Amino acid sequence: MDYVLRTNRLSKRYGGKAVVHNLHLNIRQGDIYGFLGQNGAGKTTTLRMLMGLIRPTEGEIELFGQELNRGRSKAAMERIGAIIEYPGFYLNLSAVENLDIHRRLMGMGNKEYIEEALSSVGLIDASNQKVKDYSLGMKQRLGIARALLHHPELLILDEPTNGLDPAGIKEIRQLFLNLARLRGITIMISSHLLSEVEQLATRVGIIHQGSLMEEIDYADLQRKTRHYLELRVDDDKKAAYLLEQKLGVSDYRVAGPGILHLYDFLEQSTKVNFTLTSEGVGVKEIRLSGDSLEDYFLKLTGGAPLA
Ligand SMILES: Nc1ncnc2c1ncn2[C@@H]1O[C@H](COP(=O)(O)OP(=O)(O)OP(=O)(O)O)[C@@H](O)[C@H]1O
Ligand SMILES: [Mg+2]
């Protein structure tokens, strides 16, 4: 397994207060990693440590298989592009001029990269327009273009869709998918909204009050948050037997005494009921149940609203 970024016990304290606590993050090559948490959870602090903008109080960071000790290797940092908090631009200059200043600051020789970066975020037609005339969505995309300028392998973006309308969010989502699929770039994005990384993330890390509550592949998260029929019966063994024999069900579990969770036949509760009752099983209740992704996220983060 190729890990692009890993942390071990990564922690940050401010004045004795643990803002980030013992994080173990594991981001693989090609992941779109959604780093999720409420306001104040510690996302920006974590990303700032990853980028070397602040020093961890404890713990280690490994980038591209190499541990970063005190000094970070320039070579490793050159493989990362990032936007942490709001990208600042010279508003009276055009997009091209802004990127050119950045290119020179970064010591990159290649001017063609500017056009390429602007094209990849869909801003080529507005490249000579002053940034002050850009919409918020265009500015966000320009920030991404700047982070992409030196052809990084890993993009770290702090709330890249903050403040965008649904259409803008959709556009940026498509941009990330293209960067990941077509160019193989690994992407880490933080967000306080699960819905923003849905249909995008391949892996999700959920941080709450500085601690990682869960790190999980998106497909597993989806499996965990499936809907099911909850059956309350007087004889769970007989009910299970009948479900298997009469309906060919294998996707179920006994969730407690007299309680079965059935992941099939969600739309056919009448048929399930009939199958059981006609063979003498008492059915007290059948209802559709299960956490939605959002419910699950809310439970992990203490039930407080996220937005
Ligand atoms: N320099 C600092 N000194 C003291 N406390 C800090 C400092 N930076 C951040 N904090 C505190 O650390 C906690 C986490 O902040 P952080 O900015 O990392 O959260 P976040 O998850 O990015 O939140 P948001 O969604 O609002 O951006 C907050 O309680 C914040 O007040
Ligand atoms: Mg933040």
Does the pLDDT at position 95 exceed 50? yes
The alpha carbon of 218 and the centre of ligand 1 are apart by a number of angstroms equal to 26
- Within the chain, which residue ranges are assigned CATH 3.30.70? 227-290
In the reported structure, the alpha carbon of residue 206 is separated from the centroid of ligand 1 by a whole-number distance in angstroms of 16
Who contacts 108 (Cβ-Cβ below 8 Å, separation ≥6)?
149, 150
Over the range 166-177, which residues count as b (16 or more CB within 10 Å of their CB) and which as e?
eebbebbbebbe
Which tokens belong to 170? 């959709």
Alpha carbon distance 190, 174 (integer Å): 16
Task: Read off the pLDDT of residues 37-65 as tens digits, 9 standing for 90 and up.
Answer: 999 999 999 999 999 889 999 999 999 98
| Cα distances (Å, whole numbers) of residue 278 to 3, 246, 248, 258, 271 | 55, 11, 17, 18, 10
* Band (74; pLDDT cuts 50, 70, 90): confident
**pLDDT value of position 238:** 97
Distance in angstroms (rounded) separating the CA atoms of residues 9 and 25: 9
Binding pocket residue ranges, ligand 1, CB within 6 Å: 14, 19, 37, 39-45, 192
What is the helix (H) or strand (E) element at residue 158, kind and residue range? strand 154-158
Query: What is the CATH superfamily name and number for domain 3-223?
Result: P-loop containing nucleotide triphosphate hydrolases (3.40.50.300)
Given the structure tokens 């700032």, which residue do they identify? 48
* C-alpha dist (Å) from residue 290 to 195, 221, 263: 18, 13, 10
Q: Rounded to an integer, what distance in angstroms lies between the CA atom of residue 293 and that of residue 199?
A: 12
Res 181: pLDDT: 92
Mean pLDDT of the 269-286 span: 96
Q: How far is residue 11's CA from residue 23's CA, in Å, rounded to a whole number?
A: 7
* Radius of gyration (C-alpha) of the chain in whole angstroms: 24
292 vs 139, higher pLDDT: 139
Nearest alpha carbon, ligand 1 atom 1: 14
The ranges of the chain annotated as CATH 3.40.50.300 are 3-223
114: pLDDT confidence band, cut at 50, 70 and 90? Answer: very high
Which one of 23, 45, 57, 84 would you pick to mutate in the ligand 1 pocket, going by the greatest count of ligand atoms within 8 A of its CB? 45
Ligand 1: nearest atom to the Cα of 42: 18
**Comparing 272 with 86, which gets the higher pLDDT?**
272
Beta bridge partners of 8: 60
Predicted confidence (pLDDT) per residue in 215-235, tens digit: 999 988 888 888 899 999 999
> What is the arithmetic mean of pLDDT over 262-283?
94
- Supply the mean pLDDT for the chain: 90
Q: Which ligand is nearest to the CA of 84?
A: 2
* Residues 255 and 261 sit within 8 Å (Cβ to Cβ): yes
pLDDT band at 168 (very low <50, low <70, confident <90, very high): confident
User: What mean pLDDT do residues 142-170 have?
Assistant: 90
Residue 306 clears pLDDT 50, i.e. is over it: no
| Strand pairing category for 186-191 and 32-36 | parallel
- Protein residue whose Cα sits closest to atom 24 of ligand 1: 39
The pLDDT score that the predictor gives to residue 86 is 67
Please name the residue whose Cα sits nearest to atom 12 of ligand 1: 19
- Asked whether the whole model's pTM tops 0.85, one would answer no
What percentage of the chain has pLDDT greater than the value 70? Answer: 95
* Alpha carbon of 284 to ligand 2 centroid (Å): 48
Which residue in this structure is represented by tokens 């919409």?
135
Fold designation for 227-290: Alpha-Beta Plaits (3.30.70)
Identify the band that residue 69 occupies on the pLDDT scale cut at 50, 70 and 90.
low
**Following CA atoms 214, 219, 220, 223 in sequence, which dihedral angle do they give, to the nearest 10 degrees?**
120
